[in-house]
Amino acid sequence: MRKKAMSLPSVELKQGMVTSLEIESGVVKGINYKGDERTILAPLTIVCDGSFSGLRGLINLPKVTKHGHCVGLLLKNCQAMDPGYVYALLDQRVGIYPIGMGEYRVLIGFPGKVPSTSNGDMAHFLKTSIAPEIPPELYGAFMAAVEEGQVKVAPMHSMPAVPCSSTPGAILLGDALNVRHPASGNRRRHERGYE
């Protein structure tokens, strides 16, 4: 989207780290950022700084609460028996769903502490506690993903998405506004006819 926007003649690109929103009398008037200029004013500010948004808190929205972590792996070059379905294993703590041709995402929910990815605890946990539950046709790809060490850890948040009409002048987009559980995204893909 950034590349596409940059290609348009009507778009002037300035890049920098936004430090705060410029707010006057409860109305968002623009942003302050670290770069060549310090403030940019605009009739509308679009806030889209991702799920770790530091700017969301400046707008009058319900607070984000953390509910543990989610560990993700990408399985490549494999095919499940029922490619159109989401697998839920270990009392729904583990979800496996297709994300492309021969590619599956494994997501593991952790309500508490996550094993360390740097000292080998995570790999040991995945091989001993999760691997035995993986469907046989995905087992090899799962072990390969663990060996490659491509394990991503992300916090799980509850972030209610409500219109931010109490702070005019800004809208939130993307993960800064709301993050859905991946299983619901997968369902929407199937409703659109993805196979």
Ligand X SMILES: Cc1cc2nc3c(=O)[nH]c(=O)nc-3n(C[C@H](O)[C@H](O)[C@H](O)COP(=O)(O)OP(=O)(O)OC[C@H]3O[C@@H](n4cnc5c(N)ncnc54)[C@H](O)[C@@H]3O)c2cc1C
Residues in the site for ligand X, rule: CB under 6 A? Answer: 17-18, 48-50, 54, 72, 99, 105, 152, 154, 174-176, 182, 185
Residue 48 or 183: the one with the smaller Cβ distance to ligand X is 48
Q: Say whether 142 sits in a helix, a strand or coil.
A: helix
Smallest distance, Å, CB 64 to ligand X? 14
Task: Give least dist CB 107 to ligand X, A.
Answer: 7
Residue placing its CB nearer to ligand X in the complex, 9 or 167:
167
Instruction: Look at strands 45-47 and 65-75 and give their pairing.
Output: unpaired
9 or 35: whose CB is closer to ligand X? 35
Q: How far is the CB of 108 from ligand X (least distance, A)?
A: 11
Q: What is the DSSP letter of 190?
A: H
Query: Residues 48, 174: contact at Cβ < 8 Å?
Result: yes
CB of 47 to ligand X, least distance (A): 9
The residue (of 9 and 65) whose beta carbon lies closer to ligand X is 65
Residue 62 CA to residue 164 CA, distance in Å, equals: 10
Rounded distance, CA 68 to CA 113, Å? Answer: 8
Closest residue to ligand X using C-beta atoms: 174
The tokens for 43 are: 């009739």
Answer for the pair 138, 80: CB distance below 8 angstroms, yes or no: yes
